[in-house]
Each structure stands twice: as structure tokens, then as C-alpha cells.
Structure 1
Amino acid sequence: MISVDQMKYFIEIVKHGSLNKAAQHLFISQPALTKQLAILEKSMNCSLLVRTPSGIKLTSSGRYFYERSNMIISMINETIDKIEGFSNGDTIRIGALPNLITYFLPRYIDKFRSMNHEVFIESMDTNSKLIASLDDNLFNIVFVSDVIEKPNFVTIPLIVEPFFVVMSKTNHLANIDEIDFFTVIKEKLILYKDPCPIRAKIREHCNLMNLIPNIILELEETESVIKYVEQHLGITILPKMVVNNINNPLIVVREIKKLPIHRVVSAVMKKEVSSYFLPMLL
């Protein structure tokens, strides 16, 4: 098995053009470095270097290994730097649902940056994963929807937004100004695939009314959902922030005003950091 140290040794040999100079730079003996090179070549079953009176030359295998080793060591160093950043106050680690990262979170990024912090953002597809990651200190703050409050966390509601029915302009519902949830749920529905908090919210609303949705297609991406709606295959139900970013002349949106459905978007953090993040959220 090839070790990271062997990669580093090989990089230094190539950089210095000789085993002797590389050994001096690495503060190890030349015989020890020569042994490591022999082990490396044996494990790869090929020659990486050709020794000449003027120094060393790379074989084609050696050239490839040198380039790949540089890339791997660079990635390792970058990873270490990121992890070290997580352990200090220079990085704000943010977790959020994918649609919130796209449509909601950008308004807060400048505020986080204004505090002279690097910002690290990662998406997760469910509230439960985000809250568990917050509990494990993988994030400093998470953005979720309709989360259940926990004693050791501070939950700050940021917006309450309605859901809309989204359809092609040729759909028979397009001419109705006030659409009710009963009518929508009987139509052919194209929804996000589980697990998804938006899908969970629609399911919760259906359960309250003892309704069974007529789902004909489940998709992961908003663009795909809209594309099939445009083709008049069915209709969908989306929150306001997503609907506001639909720019398609073939699509019509109507707020569900009778038996409406809403979601609450919140920021969640541990109590000990709440006083620090609160000003950024106002």
C-alpha cells in the first residue's frame, strides 16, 4: 500500500533532482530514502525513476505518479486547512435545505462575511439531518423549515410563506382565482421525491384532512418539476420563494387561499452562540 509519506518523498526527489539533495531537505539519510523509493516502486510494480550521471529522470509512469501525487497532497493540505478552520472562530459553518440555499440564504451571506469570517455552506435534504449535524458541531447554524424546537437549541422564525399551485397556462385551473387545497390535491400531482421537507409538509396537510394525493411523478430537482408541469403532465405545489423565481411564460401560479398551506423557515443554533448570530439575522 502506498503511503502519503512515500508520495511526499517522491515529490521531493523529483523537485531536487537527486536522492542526496532530497534526503538533506527531508532530514533523513540517503539510504533510508533510497529504501523508501524501492518499496514504492515494488508496490507499484514499475520503475518511476531512471538514474543517470547527470541526475534522475522520470519514466512515463513516474511522471504520471508525480502529477497525481502533487494533486493528492494538495487536496490533503487543503482538507487539513479547512478542518483546522472549523476548530476556530474564523469560519462560520452553515447547513441548510437545498431550496433555502438557492432562494433564501443569499440575503444573509454578506452579513456573515461582514463579521470577517469565511463562510462554509453545505446542503442536506432533511431537517433531521441538519439538526443532528448541528448537535454534532458540524455546523454553527442551520436553516430549516417547520422544525420542532429542542431545549438545547434556539429557534428563530424568519419568515412564514404560503404555498402556491403551479400549472401550465392551458390547465383548467388557470382561470380560477381562488383555488382550494381539496381541488388541487385531486389533480395529477408532480412532487419532490422523498425525503423532502416540502413533500413532508404537503403530506402533513393531506393527513389533517384525510386526503390521499394523486401523485403521478416524483422528481428531485425544481427545474425538472417545472419542465413536466409545462408539458401539461400535471400540476405541482411549491412555496412562495420558489414560485417567485419561476420565469416561464407557459406557467401560471395561484396561491392556495382556501384551506391554505404554509411553512415556517427558521434559523436554529445552540444557545451559547445565539447572541452572536441574532444580529446577523435581523
Structure 2
Amino acid sequence: METARTKSISKASEALHISHTALSKQLRSLEQQFDVQLFARSSQGVELTDAGKVLYESSKIVLDQLTVITRALEPYKVWRRIRIGTIPDIASQYLLASLHKLEDQGHEVELVYRQSTPEVYKMLLDGEVDLLVAERISMHPSIWMGDLHQEPLFVVMPKGHPFASKPAVTLPELSSQPLVLYAEGCTIRAKLTHLFAAMNHPMNIKTEVNFKEVILGYVGNGGGLTVLPEPYITQLPTDRLVSVPLSHPDAQRTIAVFSTNRAKGQSVFRLLR
């Protein structure tokens, strides 16, 4: 169906995330199974033959019927196999130690990693995973959410920084400092943007990077300050860096379970708490 839609085996294989050779082999297998030619090939691409059009229209009906059947069986699923989307840091903090609870309940768990929070959410919305364990953001009402943990945010700075001896750092104080933050799409950066805007203070972003280790390298060498959640603080190289709480009632991030299926989400949520 994808080949018919794109009129190209190359484009269809890219969309399906399989090799050109693998898709061609599957198409030949279909043609051999039904003993027909499905596509007419040319230098411009491929077009459905009359036989191909019959199979294409019939396939749409079959897939629609499979969707109906899948939805009808949804309430009876035992959820033996669960795909959980997450990012590496959150997996190490909240998932890996709890996997045995899921396995003890007969679940076969596959963790699917992405490097950024937006990529993780896209997996859920695209149906690539059954649920997420990720930072909480506003989602469509059809997505079930359950909060697992709340993590306060800390300002990280070099040991010799003037703020290093303070019990906490306020947003106005932080506004005067150059910041080293994750690039756009990071939920902590989005949280800071919201907090600064609400207090009408500028946010002085000096450097944007994509990895925590690089951020800490910039901070340790005087490139600016950064803001990280509490679990990251225990991993700081204390010979060079110190952390101070960010003083604001909303200076925290929430780790939550997300699922398009309430029953599955609640079942896994109870085991992870």
C-alpha cells in the first residue's frame, strides 16, 4: 500500500524504515503468492496494475477489519509484552530497578530509547510504544497520565562562583548570569522560559548544547551556569562544581507515566511507584 501511495519502492522503503531490497523481496513474494503482477515498473517509478488495484482496495478493507478486531479485543488483553519509551537518564533513575516487578507479573518489557523528550512523545503518538516514562508536559485529553516523582531544580556552578555559598538562588539572581542549557525542546528549558517570562525577567542563554556532560564541561570551565534536576546533582564532580537549589515554588520537574490505554497505563504505574 505504501509503494502504491508513493509510486516508488525507494520512497516506500524509506517511509517503512526497511531496505529497498527487503521491500522488493516482499513485493515479489506477494506477486508469487497470488500469481499476479502487482506493479508495472518504469524509469519514472511504479504503477499499480489492474491486479494490483484489486489487491490494494481489498487490503484497505482487511486492514480496517483488523483495526476493528484489535479495538474489540483491547479490554481483554493481558499485556504480556509492553514497549516502554523513555530517555536513558530517566530509565536509569526510575525504570531499571523496577523492571523485575513487571517481569514478576508476567510482563515481557522492552525499553525503547530516544535522546530527547519530544522524540519520546512522538513514539507514543505514532503508536510505536505502549506507554512512556518521561517528563510531564500537557498532553491531549485522550492520553492517560500518572505522576511518579517530583524533582526540584538546582543551579549548578563552579566552586568559586559568588553564588556557591548561598542557601538558594532566586530567578532575578539567575537572570544576571550567562546560562548553558539544552537546546530547544528540553522540558527544563521550557520550564525556565515560562518561569522567567512570568516574572518578567530576561533569560541570558549563552550556550546551547545537547548533552549533559558537555553542559557540565562548559560550566566547569567558566562558560556559565546551568539548571538540572535533583537526581543529576549526585553525579556532579564535587571537586569542580557545586549546586544550589533554585528558589521558586514551581522550580521542579515531574516524571510521569503516559499511555493511550488507561488500563495498561494504570497497571504499569502501580508497579513503578
Quick check: TM above 0.5? yes
C-alpha change, 1:238 and 1:143, in structure 2 (3 Å) is same
Give the aligned partner of residue 158 of structure 1.
148
Equivalent pairs: percent with the same residue?
22
- Please, which runs of 5 or more residues in structure 1 have no aligned partner? 8-86
Q: Which moved more, 1:90-99 or 1:208-217?
A: 90-99
Name the SS for the 1:148 alignment partner: coil
Indicate conservation of the 8 Å contact 1:180/1:260, yes or no.
Answer: no
Matched, 1:279 2:259: no
C-alpha change, 1:140 and 1:259, in structure 2 (3 Å) is closer
CA deviation after TM superposition for structure 1 residue 165, in Å: 0.4
Q: Deviations over 1:216-259 (max 9, x none)?
A: 11111111111111112211111111222224321110111256
Distance 1:219 1:251 in 2: 18
Number of residue pairs aligned between Structure 1 and Structure 2: 203
Distance 2:232 2:266 in 1: 30
Name the SS for the 2:207 alignment partner: strand
Matched, 1:195 2:166: no
C-alpha change, 1:116 and 1:258, in structure 2 (3 Å) is closer
Give the aligned partner of residue 207 of structure 2.
217
Distance 2:24 2:215 in 1: 50
Q: Deviations over 1:57-96 (max 9, x none)?
A: xxxxxxxxxxxxxxxxxxxxxxxxxxxxxx9944321112
Name the SS for the 1:110 alignment partner: helix
Distance 1:223 1:3 in 2: 39
Amino acid of the structure 1 residue aligned with 2:257: A
Matched, 1:124 2:114: yes
Amino acid of the structure 2 residue aligned with 1:158: L
Indicate which of 212, 216, 222 corresponds to 1:226.
216
C-alpha change, 1:271 and 1:189, in structure 2 (3 Å) is same
Mapping 1:7-18, distance limit 5 Å: none
Matched, 1:146 2:163: no
Amino acid of the structure 2 residue aligned with 1:229: V
Distance 1:175 1:3 in 2: 62
Matched, 1:103 2:93: yes
Give the aligned partner of residue 64 of structure 2.
none
Indicate conservation of the 8 Å contact 1:134/1:142, yes or no.
Answer: yes
**What is the Cα-based RMSD across aligned positions, in Å?**
2.9
CA deviation after TM superposition for structure 1 residue 202, in Å: 1.2
Name the SS for the 2:124 alignment partner: helix
Indicate which of 170, 179, 183 corresponds to 2:173.
183
Q: Deviations over 1:161-186 (max 9, x none)?
A: 21100011011111222321210122
Name the SS for the 2:191 alignment partner: helix
Matched, 1:204 2:194: yes
Matched, 1:248 2:238: yes
Mapping 1:20-99, distance limit 5 Å: 89-99=79-89
Indicate conservation of the 8 Å contact 1:181/1:260, yes or no.
Answer: no
Indicate conservation of the 8 Å contact 1:171/1:232, yes or no.
Answer: no
CA deviation after TM superposition for structure 1 residue 122, in Å: 2.2
Distance 2:179 2:210 in 1: 14
Indicate conservation of the 8 Å contact 1:181/1:259, yes or no.
Answer: no
Larger radius of gyration: 1
- Please, which runs of 5 or more residues in structure 2 have no aligned partner? 1-8, 10-19, 26-76
Amino acid of the structure 1 residue aligned with 2:222: H
Distance 2:206 2:225 in 1: 10
Give the aligned partner of residue 19 of structure 1.
none
Amino acid of the structure 2 residue aligned with 1:122: V
Distance 1:218 1:139 in 2: 29
CA deviation after TM superposition for structure 1 residue 264, in Å: 1.5
C-alpha change, 1:6 and 1:191, in structure 2 (3 Å) is closer
Distance 1:146 1:5 in 2: 38
Name the SS for the 1:165 alignment partner: strand
- With the length of structure 1 as denominator, give the TM-score of the two structures: 0.63
- With the length of structure 2 as denominator, give the TM-score of the two structures: 0.65
